[in-house]
């Protein structure tokens, strides 16, 4: 009988490490992007301030095309590695158990774990829509706005974009999936990176909950504030 040697990536743990490391990059982006976008909420306490802060922040990023393109390439690589390893893991797990369990007990993470595949696909659809919407301005019925001094009016784009209840609703649903995905993702990533002992498990659940709730609530607050007429 001939034994086949597997490369590290071909093993389940190899794929999980790729998922965890690409996941760290994506979580970092999602948190920084949310913090940048939340500057818009300054508008609630000082009219004009949120718009200026968001537009200045966008102009600052656009003034460094080299950095922006480097970040885009890293993000694209991370999304591709993450999705590819995720799909291979699902296939590998299915091949290892061609007959499904007759009965499956629900565990603490299963709700989030069971939505990883569909949640991940919803997030991919969201990212494609989001780029066509606020980065490329290619969604029918949405025209990108410019400020009087010829800069991209990101504030006006966000507000006019979310004044469509269908668009705002899709963003809210996608952020709920993002929260579930982040919950299971952070929980699982910390396990892959070695934090899996009874003493740290409770801490792992708390960290996963905190990241998921902060990101989902932070992002959802923007379309909700527009729909509620608080951001105009």
Q: Provide the binding-site residues for ligand HEM, judged by CB under 6 A.
A: 30, 33, 37, 58, 72, 127, 130-131, 134-135, 154, 157-158, 171, 178, 219, 222-223
Shortest distance, position 141 Cβ to ligand HEM, whole Å: 17
Of 33 and 91, nearer to ligand HEM (C-beta) is 33
Shortest distance, position 191 Cβ to ligand HEM, whole Å: 22
Shortest distance, position 130 Cβ to ligand HEM, whole Å: 5
Shortest distance, position 92 Cβ to ligand HEM, whole Å: 26
Shortest-Cβ-distance residue relative to ligand HEM: 58
Intra-chain end-to-end CA distance of the chain, in Å: 71
Shortest distance, position 154 Cβ to ligand HEM, whole Å: 5
Shortest distance, position 14 Cβ to ligand HEM, whole Å: 25
Of 17 and 172, nearer to ligand HEM (C-beta) is 172
Q: Which two tokens stand for residue 58?
A: 């966008």
Of 134 and 195, nearer to ligand HEM (C-beta) is 134
* Phi and psi at residue 50, to the nearest 5°: -65, -45
Of 108 and 127, nearer to ligand HEM (C-beta) is 127
Cα–Cα distance measured from residue 35 to residue 58, given in angstroms and rounded to the nearest whole number: 13
- For 172, counting Cβ atoms within 10 Å of its Cβ (0-12 exposed, 13-18 middle, 19+ buried), the class is middle
Of 131 and 193, nearer to ligand HEM (C-beta) is 131
Q: Which two tokens stand for residue 226?
A: 């527009």
CA distance readout (Å), 106 to 5, 85, 119, 179: 36, 25, 18, 19
**Length of the chain in terms of residues written:** 232
Cα–Cα distance measured from residue 47 to residue 56, given in angstroms and rounded to the nearest whole number: 15
CB 136 within 8 A of CB 159: no
Of 71 and 195, nearer to ligand HEM (C-beta) is 71
Cα–Cα distance measured from residue 73 to residue 197, given in angstroms and rounded to the nearest whole number: 36
């Amino acid at each position: 009988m001939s034994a086949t040697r597997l490369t590290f990536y071909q093993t389940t743990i190899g794929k999980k490490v790729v998922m965890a490391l690409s996941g760290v990059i994506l979580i970092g982006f999602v948190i920084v992007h949310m913090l940048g976008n939340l500057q818009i909420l300054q508008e609630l306490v000082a009219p004009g301030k949120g718009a200026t802060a968001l537009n200045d922040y966008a102009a600052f990023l656009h003034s460094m095309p080299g950095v922006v393109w480097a970040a885009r390439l890293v993000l694209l690589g991370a999304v591709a590695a993450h999705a590819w390893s995720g799909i291979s893991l699902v296939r590998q797990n299915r091949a290892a158990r061609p007959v499904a369990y007759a009965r499956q007990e629900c565990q603490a993470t299963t709700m989030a774990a069971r939505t990883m595949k569909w949640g991940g696909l919803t997030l991919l659809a969201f990212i494609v829509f989001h780029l066509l919407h606020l980065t490329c301005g290619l969604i029918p019925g949405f025209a990108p706005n410019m400020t009087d001094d010829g800069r991209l009016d990101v504030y006006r784009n966000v507000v006019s974009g979310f004044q469509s209840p269908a668009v705002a609703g899709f963003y809210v649903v996608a952020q709920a999936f993002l929260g579930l995905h982040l919950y299971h993702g952070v929980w699982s990533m910390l396990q892959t990176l070695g934090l899996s002992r009874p003493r740290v498990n409770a801490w792992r659940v708390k960290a996963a909950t905190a990241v998921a709730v902060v990101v989902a609530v932070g992002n959802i607050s923007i379309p909700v504030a527009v729909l509620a007429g608080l951001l105009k």
